Amino acid sequence: MPNIKKILIANRGEIALRVMRTAREMGIKTVAIYSEADRKALHVRYADEAFCVGPPPSKESYLRMDAIIDVAEQAGADAIHPGYGFLSENAAFAAKVAKAGLIFIGPSPASIEVMGSKLAAKEAVSHYNIPMVPGIQTAITDIPKAKKQAAEVGYPILIKASAGGGGKGMRIVNEESEFEEQMQRAISEAESAFGDGAVFIEKYITSPRHIEVQVLGDQHGNAIHLFERECSIQRRHQKVIEEAPSSVYGEEKRKAIGEAAVRVAKACDYYGAGTVEFIVDENLDFFFLEMNTRLQVEHPVTEQITGIDLVRQQILVAEGKPLEIKQEDLKIHGHSLEVRVYAEDPANSFLPDIGKLVTYVRPQGLGVRVDDGFEEGMDIPIYYDPMIAK
């Protein structure tokens, strides 16, 4: 089994620093990459070596797969950690890394690909007894037939454009008398927005919660879950506050959702750290939504309640070692809450903002953890995510 001696972190900011801290604790050397805008960034100063990969825009720097792999080879790194965002869920990048003879600290390209498509993911997990949102997952334009299907699913239902996105071609129908009118509207909206009028039908979940489960698998077929995180507080479809564990789940539901998440991981032979997302209805029943094949922004809340370093586990799994933790060893210690801190202008609809960080004081004290990538006096660049800290 290979022992990783030097890791290139294909990312920036707080997640790059987060990965480097664990690598340093494990005695592993680190290589940073940076764009011209990040020349003075903390992750560049913290790493053992740092290389510029291009101008500020991401596509000219942090998204340049071949340039990043070239730097890894030049620096003598034997592995690449993608962090989250950028290339972390890019199956082509994972394949290129492996082809270059380097270790990708993450799942296989095949797992990334399957879970990257919502319909392929649903198909993959459908054989593993995973609860799904009730509905008809095939496209339809025939109104009488669709009406019959809607009655089978049970109202309220959601009509969704098959080719859709951004809420277009989507209609909530509360009762049968509204169905035909809403179906026609959804079809015409889908036709004008996407040139495709096909829609599908699923149960509409009222007052939904968003609960996700942290999973960990190795390359020997073992998989465990590290309990759930509550991520229902969102704005513009972005999570802003996350906590672990969820305050609505008792022991029985917690065990059930955790076991379902492990089955999802097994459905795609998953290894490494991943997150299975569920939508939860008012009866607290859960339904599979999707899987994120990477470390999440909110992974620290899970680390806080379990005492497990997820980055360390990712590295050990990438080295081919079997999981050192068993499900029965894991216990929840206390409760953890994560708040994201953004550079935004409250006077302008809380849109991302830039400029000098004039005052920046980190909170300190027992039980407080701050993951960040900035310090006082630094400039917030325009090119990247506006999150300063969490």
Place of tokens 């920036």: 12
Q: Which of 294, 312, 340, 369 is catalytic?
A: 294
Alpha-carbon span 387 to 239, nearest angstrom: 12
Edge-to-edge strands, sheet with 286-292: 286-292, 272-280, 209-217, 223-235, 238-244, 336-339
Helix, strand, or coil (residue 155) = coil
First to last CA, the chain: 35
Q: Say whether 24 is catalytic.
A: no
Choose among 108, 67, 62: nearest CA to 86.
62
Alpha-carbon span 56 to 60, nearest angstrom: 7
Helix, strand, or coil (residue 38) = helix
Inter-residue contact 105 to 80 (CB < 8 Å): yes
Alpha-carbon span 162 to 58, nearest angstrom: 31
Exposure of 348 by Cβ count < 10 A (0-12 exposed, 13-18 middle, 19+ buried)? exposed
Provide the token pair at 186: 């959804």
Angle between helices 118-125 and 109-116 (to 10 degrees): 110
Alpha-carbon span 209 to 229, nearest angstrom: 11
Catalytic residues: 294
